[in-house]
Structure 1
Amino acid sequence: MRSPKARRSRVAASACVLTAAALIPTAPAFAPGSGLSAPTASALPLRTEISGFDSDMSSRISAVDNYLRSRPGVVGYVVRDRVTGGIYRNDNAGTMFWTASTIKLAIAEDLLNRARVGAITLDPGDRGLLESMLATSNDTAADILWNKYAGLDRMAFQNAFRANGMGSLLPLPPTSSMAQTKLFPDWGFQQCTPDDLDRLMDSVLTSMHPDDRDYLVDRMRQVDTNQHWGVWGAGSAMRPGLKNGWSDEQGGWVVNSVGFAGPGERYTLAIMNSLGGDGGYADGAQTTTRVAEILFKGR
């Protein structure tokens, strides 16, 4: 969802100084640049292998679930191994959360798909807005593209989102102070599940034209430093890419991240964190980053 620009600048700076807490039994804390390694299978609680995942990844998933028990708010996540076909969904993977700006990835996918088949023509200005929307999560860029390409009934994006895997996506009437200036549906007032974001990420990687896919993958790897949290916690060796989203306009903070990591974008992660009154942006950014660290760093 949307966040006031002044607050975005302040909270983005907070994300740059987050450190991960040592909340996993027998495993040392680690953070980007700390010099500590990601936990290995031998350092994590033993777990019977999860279908589609090896013993190391199964232990990492177990460690994530243990970690989340100590974290504020409600967290849902889905991790996918695109090589083995393994998919793990935690208990909140089917829970509805505000999408915040993660929906901008779906907007970008649909615009590129429509342009590929000649349904629309993206001029250089549109391309610049699309890049800004991905790199810095620019709300104004998303507003312009949405109003230009939503169609007369404003349903063009909504229909494409469902076709691209977001079957549970639900547009809601604008309810904030901005409601008087927004028409229904609007990109900034949408809810979905981590399952929806998982399917969206898979759609980008498996269903798009290869040239458009490669373009989006590259843009997701080149996000601004204020986006270096969430799936970015996988570590530079895993070459992550992501689209993050955060908002405090719907009764409490929502902090989400969706992206990929590993050779050939092998792994995808969709994680959504609704904090309510239990925490703020820094808590959500720390949670989402730590989950990606535990799952992927050192793989």
Structure 2
Amino acid sequence: MRASRLVLTMLSVFALAGCGGTAATAENPAPSSVASAPPVIASDPAGRSAPTPAHPAPPSRSPSTAPSAAAATTIDARMATARALIAKKPGTIGLVVRDRVTGTVWRAGNTTQLNWTASTIKLALSSAILERAHAGQVTLTATDKKYMRLSLVNSDNDATTALWNTFHGADMLTRFRDTYGMSTLGVVPGNTVFWRNLHCSTQDLANLMSYVLDRMDATDRAYLVTTLREVAPFQHWGVWGAGTSMHPGNKNGWAQKPDDGITHWVTHSVGFAGDHERYVVAVTYRLTASGTLPQGAHTVSDLVATVFGATTPAAISFPT
């Protein structure tokens, strides 16, 4: 009994530390201006699309599963149900699903609205640090590696801040935009340049996950895939809603943030599902002022579950 209480206490501590709530203070550098660019993948009016020439063809690391027209048709039908669910929910939801085998992309809701990234940006930060280390530009200490795992698995804010400061996170924003395809990423107006003060779109997050799976060095990619599948139980929602048979992995973001003078929850999730990480999934939700964390977590999880034919309401766990 005493051990069970200890585990619950530790999870509660991680959850509270998990996904930065308020904006950072003036101790951080001044914000930089950000140029916007259109998403790298364009959709048709029905919300389904194929990559445009601006989106390079996936390399040989793409999943080996044979392309399936039937699978695409099934997701088409399920996306119609997902759009109906989105239409009933207050606030703003965006959903992007990309099939890495066929290149087909499905969208629902508002996938271009800028939202506070919350802790989803921790995936971009870790990706950049890993790539710089691989290129011999930086050396990761045992402490750095510990902090990276804490940042991704436990969504630990202090560990993330340590990484941001050690590896000059403010200098990484250009990489996030130009290399990772997060073209509309920027600093929330009126805030300093800090990982907790960034905003991006659902499409930005989908582009980031696509980069990790399609473009990163195999060793770095394997580390991120494995780690995102090992996230703490309070991140078992969002993309996790695809169900265990889809072998999901995700990095979630949840926080109370201000927009237009109103404080509200955001509940975002970015990750992958399917054999060989076949599907890239990104879902964002900006709730209204009266919305709650459970409502947000359940909504984005049920959306993903709907797309992949999993049971709804999705069986999830999230911070309390």
Same fold (TM over 0.5): yes
Between stretches 247-256 and 105-114, larger displacement belongs to 247-256
Q: Report the Cα offset of residue 298 of structure 1.
A: 5.2
Instruction: Give me the identity figure in percent.
Output: 37
Q: Report the Cα offset of residue 98 of structure 1.
A: 0.7
* Structure 2: stretches of 5+ with no match in the other structure: 1-11, 20-45, 51-70, 312-320
State TM-score, norm by structure 2: 0.73
SS at match of 1:257: strand
Counterpart among 176, 180, 188 of residue 161 in structure 1: 176
Corresponding residue for 1:194?
A: 202
Equivalent residue runs for 1:238-257 within 5 Å = 238-250=246-258, 251-257=263-269
Counterpart among 108, 128, 149 of residue 90 in structure 1: 108
Corresponding residue for 1:41?
A: none
Residue 297 of structure 2 corresponds to residue 285 of structure 1: yes
CA distance in 2, matches of 1:126, 1:10: 18
Corresponding residue for 2:157?
A: 139
Q: Report the Cα offset of residue 276 of structure 1.
A: 2.6
Corresponding residue for 1:232?
A: 240
CA distance in 2, matches of 1:136, 1:10: 8
Corresponding residue for 1:56?
A: 74
* Structure 1: stretches of 5+ with no match in the other structure: 13-47, 176-183
Residue 124 of structure 2 corresponds to residue 106 of structure 1: yes
- Go from structure 1 to structure 2 and tell me whether the alpha carbon gap of 1:139 and 1:10 turns closer, same or farther (over 3 Å shift): closer
Corresponding residue for 2:41?
A: none
Provide, for residues 85-143 of structure 1, a one-character-per-residue CA deviation record: whole Å limited to 9, x for no partner.
00112241111111000000000100000000001111110000000000010000000
Corresponding residue for 1:69?
A: 87
- Go from structure 1 to structure 2 and tell me whether the alpha carbon gap of 1:107 and 1:292 turns closer, same or farther (over 3 Å shift): same
Q: Figure out how many residues of one structure are paired with residues of the other and give that number.
A: 249
- Go from structure 1 to structure 2 and tell me whether the alpha carbon gap of 1:222 and 1:7 turns closer, same or farther (over 3 Å shift): closer
- Go from structure 1 to structure 2 and tell me whether the alpha carbon gap of 1:68 and 1:173 turns closer, same or farther (over 3 Å shift): closer
Q: Report the Cα offset of residue 8 of structure 1.
A: 3.9
Corresponding residue for 1:43?
A: none
Corresponding residue for 2:230?
A: 222
CA distance in 2, matches of 1:290, 1:63: 11
CA distance in 2, matches of 1:79, 1:97: 18
| Contact 1:11 1:282 survives alignment (8 Å) | no
Provide, for residues 170-202 of structure 1, a one-character-per-residue CA deviation record: whole Å limited to 9, x for no partner.
113675xxxxxxxx3100000000010010000
Q: Which amino acid aligns with 1:109?
A: S
CA distance in 2, matches of 1:284, 1:78: 17
Residue 286 of structure 2 corresponds to residue 274 of structure 1: yes
| Contact 1:259 1:268 survives alignment (8 Å) | yes
Between stretches 54-63 and 190-199, larger displacement belongs to 54-63
| Contact 1:238 1:297 survives alignment (8 Å) | no
Counterpart among 190, 199, 220 of residue 212 in structure 1: 220
State TM-score, norm by structure 1: 0.78
Q: Which amino acid aligns with 2:116?
A: W
Q: Which amino acid aligns with 1:165?
A: G
CA distance in 2, matches of 1:134, 1:63: 31
